Structure 1
Amino acid sequence: MQSLTRFSRRLVVPALLSLASCNFLDVGPPPTQVVDTNVYAADASATAAVLGIYIGLTSRGTNIPGIANDAALSTFLGLAADELLYASTTFDEYRLNQVNPAGNGPSLLWSQAYTNIYQCNTAVAGLTGSTTLTASLRTQLLGEAKFLRAFNYFYLTNIFGDVPLVLNPDYTVSGALPRAPKADVYAQVVLDLLDAQKLLPAAYPVANERTRANQAAATALLARVYLYQQNWAAAETQATAVLAQTGIYTLPALNLAFLASSLEAIWQVRRAGTISTNTYEAGYFVPASLTVAPTATYQLTNTLYNAFGTPDNRRTTWASSYTVAGTTYRYPLKYQQRVATPNAGATTEYSVALRLAEQYLIRAEARIRQGNIASGIADLNAVRARAGATALATTLGSADALLAVENERRLELFTEYGHRWFDLIRTGRVAAVLSPYKGTTWDANDNVWPIPATQLLANPVLTQNLGY
């Protein structure tokens, strides 16, 4: 992994060349400027450049949401919480919350996030300065670039805490930046999402596809950010704005929620490669064989599996199990089409990054924390009804209602982009929940991952998180 300075310099060319490899753009000779104004002079090339940011989410192997073609946010953060076990000791550093600063995980997540952010910054600068693009397209692409920058920074700051806030494509500036306070990073995320809301159209750029951001995607992510900031009223307002769009978004049957055609999806991440590909998640969660013990897949923990009540169809639809030599292995089954490499068949599943059920859960928590318990429980019950679970009483007290939110988020959002891990940390519940589960006294320093060791060597103004 390279320093900010070194990898920014290194990516001026490859960030664009990666587009050419995916038949989006032939960029010709290496650019001599940080921002190649030629790219943002024509509609086709500007569109290709922004599409390249989406490709960067899954194509390079060291990415958010994946590491080495692995859905890292779902897997490693699932191990760090109480959702997953791995078939071997390979990833014990995450399960035991002893993440190595010199390990691949932190380095690759950090590097890829800043790769994506570099491309976003380049796009924002190029689009802002362009005077030759079709006006409506320029506005849309700028909104997408700002949404994607916010998305990457949201995960960076929730994984690492304070991180450099790079907003300029000039690597001579970005390479020596110190860590910015998490509050400042969040403030920028909010600004980007507010801008994206204004810039993005309500309709998706491609008909029958939800793999590029629209206004609702920006609103949904903004609702989440406000929840994390404990801005309860704003979180409720933004979630309500999405939930009100009943003609576009709905809660379908459980077995339809994670399909490429899902009416619940607000924003999906399509796996890079040919158009006929499915998800990385299924490749790592669904066993290759049900007759041999797993060696390279993840299993659900018994604590999660047993947390589902009766009735609750999520346990039977979104999870499954098999037994080998008397040992039962349980695994996530939200995604069912197991593929290790892009295939030639029809695409049936995309990775769902934002979906409607989360908006119900955001609004439920926001309402309860504002004292509107009955309405909050009603939102929880909307999610539970889809699962066939018994309705919760609207007369719950505040403490019990908040525990109900925590439980519902656990059961609804398991193995999706690290929700459980982030929830336990942001609510201050991580020690109470994970200490008994892991059998150790929780170390508050474990709440964030270490800054990659190579970054500290390359940039002397960076500091390490406590405890590493």
Structure 2
Amino acid sequence: MNYLKYITIAFLIFTLQSCSDFLEQEPGTQTSIDELLQNKEGVLIALKGLYRNVEGTVREERFSVYSDLQGGNIKFTPTSSGNSLGQITPGVNLREAYSFEDMAETSNFASFYSGNYSIINQANLILEYTPKLKDATETEKKQIQAEALTIRAYAHFVLSQIYCQDYEYTPDASHLGIVYNTESIKSGLKYPKRETLANTYSLIITDLKTAIENYSETAAMAGPIYSYFNKNNAKALLARVYLYKKDWANAYETANDVIANSGFKLVNATDLVSQWAQPDLPVSEALLEFSVSKDSESIVSTSMSNYFGVTSSTYAHYVASNDLVDLYESNDIRKQLFITVHLQTLVNGVLTAVPYNFTRKFQDNAGYVAFRLSELYLIRAEAALENNQPALAMADVNTIRARANAALLTNTANLKEDIFLERRKELCFEGHLFFDLVRNHKGITRNDGCISTNCGMAYPSLKFVLPIPQSNINLNSNLQQNESY
């Protein structure tokens, strides 16, 4: 037990030391958790390190491209040089998962699973030490706790997206959820079982509601407001959770609250393309975009452009599939968010210049867009439809379509499918499609660019969730593996 506790503490210290403003220490000395978190300054350093871990985990290739790749919005680019010039192969980090053939022993997502539980443990440490601070006001302590609670809920939620079937997979959501940790390992080693998905969502919602009650108007740390959790984007997360739970009344109310009271406005049509093309800033309607890490000279080492970027001399691994591009009407200004480049590709053994569509959303130093106001309009639309208010739903969809210069809907006959397709077009590359397909009980159909052994798969499927990494199963005999693995 002590060994694992110290491993966890050492990991947290290592994480904090990666921050450029970590407290200076004499060579060879160490800082214990008790020493580090005994005052407000130390807790804020820990919180900043925690955000770095969250950003690195969700922006990392596995999670950031997974939903669009599995759903069919994106495909791979050809190899740019060497003996494999022009060949198209899946990325090593997603090779098995892409084909729905991931294995517990060698899971592509093993680091994602352990990384999120490390984030949860660090959030719990902050939650445990913050109430004891003597140099922070009650308002400051509540703000720190609110951000840590939101991070804890967020990490559990993204884990549930990857490892749990959708909420209505069983009538009462009694199927497997995830382990929900509310205490750090420092308080003692435990071997918990997985909650049901119903309990998992209940715990996520409780954490978020508590956090929202504790938020103040002042962020815990200095920096861009869009980089940290606050009351508005915590409500956006809660609205998304209600959407996945199909709690339509609360989804509508929460999304409406953000739209009406957050002070955020949709980017206007004139600025939509130019704002996405900004090299260092998110679009103004971004409720949360985790800032990318920079070194002491403000140089970014890695960002979303590592996966979607294109320059005059290099290009990344992922582009839009024609399955996605062909959905847009000819006058839709969102088509201007594609950058068409011809790349040498082996076609029937012959190198051929083939057009590929990169996205302007994630060029230069782009961060991971976690929540955007457009999503809240589409959540409100879906919830309104399910609450038997189709006119309100159509109005919200048309708000998004009008900005894009797309033809407005004139009837509600196929509104459920219209909302689904609008989400696919508006939120592409932002991590929604596969999860939208599954929660709507739709199968997977990947046509253009699919090089998987499984390009189509009907709902329901045991392979719509990934295996719990075997190394974690070995550590906890109470941790039940997902069926079929």
Normalising by structure 2, we get a TM-score of: 0.83
Question: Does 1:220 pair with 2:236?
Answer: yes
Residue type of the alignment partner of 1:426: R
Q: Offset at 1:160?
A: 0.6
Instruction: Give the whole-Å Cα distance in 1 for the aligned partners of 2:2 and 2:200.
Output: 20
Change (3 A) 1:9 1:384: farther
Q: Which residue of 2 aligns with 1:341?
A: none
Verify the 8 A CA contact 1:22 1:273 in the aligned structure 2.
no
Residue type of the alignment partner of 2:59: P
Question: Does 1:358 pair with 2:375?
Answer: yes
Q: Where does 1:58-207 land on structure 2 (aligned, <5 Å)? A: 58-59=55-56, 63-66=57-60, 70=61, 72-87=62-77, 88-90=89-91, 91-161=94-164, 162-170=177-185, 173=188, 175-202=190-217, 204=219, 206=222
Q: Which residue of 2 aligns with 1:328?
A: 355
Question: Does 1:401 pair with 2:422?
Answer: no
Of stretches 253-262 and 217-226 in structure 1, the one that deviates more from structure 2 is 253-262
- Cα-to-partner distance string for 1:12-57 (whole Å, 9 max, x where unaligned): 122123213314433865566xxx3443432211111111110112
Q: Which residue of 1 aligns with 2:84?
A: none
Q: Which residue of 1 aligns with 2:247?
A: 231
Q: Offset at 1:206?
A: 3.6
Instruction: Give the whole-Å Cα distance in 2 for the aligned partners of 1:7 and 1:187.
Output: 29
Q: Which residue of 2 aligns with 1:272?
A: 293
Instruction: Give the whole-Å Cα distance in 1 for the aligned partners of 2:249 and 2:412.
Output: 21
| 3-state SS in 2 of match to 1:353 | strand
Q: Offset at 1:445?
A: 0.4
* Aligned-residue RMSD, C-alpha: 2.7
Residue type of the alignment partner of 1:177: P
Identity of aligned residues (%): 24
Instruction: Give the whole-Å Cα distance in 2 for the aligned partners of 1:257 and 1:126.
Output: 40
Q: Offset at 1:213?
A: 1.2
Instruction: Give the whole-Å Cα distance in 1 for the aligned partners of 2:3 and 2:307.
Output: 32
Verify the 8 A CA contact 2:193 2:479 in the aligned structure 1.
yes
Verify the 8 A CA contact 2:293 2:302 in the aligned structure 1.
no
Residue type of the alignment partner of 1:300: A
Q: Offset at 1:446?
A: 1.4
Compare relative contact order (CA 8 Å, sep 6+) and give the higher one, 1 or 2: 2
Q: Which residue of 1 aligns with 2:318?
A: 298
Question: Does 1:367 pair with 2:384?
Answer: yes
Change (3 A) 1:235 1:263: same
Of stretches 153-162 and 279-288 in structure 1, the one that deviates more from structure 2 is 279-288
Of stretches 402-411 and 80-89 in structure 1, the one that deviates more from structure 2 is 80-89
Verify the 8 A CA contact 2:267 2:283 in the aligned structure 1.
no
Instruction: Give the whole-Å Cα distance in 2 for the aligned partners of 1:258 and 1:101.
Output: 39
Q: Which residue of 1 aligns with 2:434?
A: 421
Q: Which runs of 5+ in 1 are unaligned?
A: 338-347
Q: In the alignment, which of 4, 16, 21 is matched to residue 19 of structure 1?
A: 16
Residue type of the alignment partner of 2:415: A
Change (3 A) 1:18 1:439: closer
Residue type of the alignment partner of 1:402: K
| 3-state SS in 2 of match to 1:334 | helix
Q: Offset at 1:369?
A: 0.7
**In the comparison of the two structures, how many residue pairs are matched?**
437
Q: Offset at 1:122?
A: 0.5
Q: Offset at 1:101?
A: 1.9
Q: Offset at 1:246?
A: 6.3
Change (3 A) 1:23 1:153: same
Q: Which runs of 5+ in 2 are unaligned?
A: 78-88, 165-176, 345-351
Verify the 8 A CA contact 1:6 1:175 in the aligned structure 2.
no
Q: Offset at 1:440?
A: 4.1
Q: Which residue of 2 aligns with 1:340?
A: none
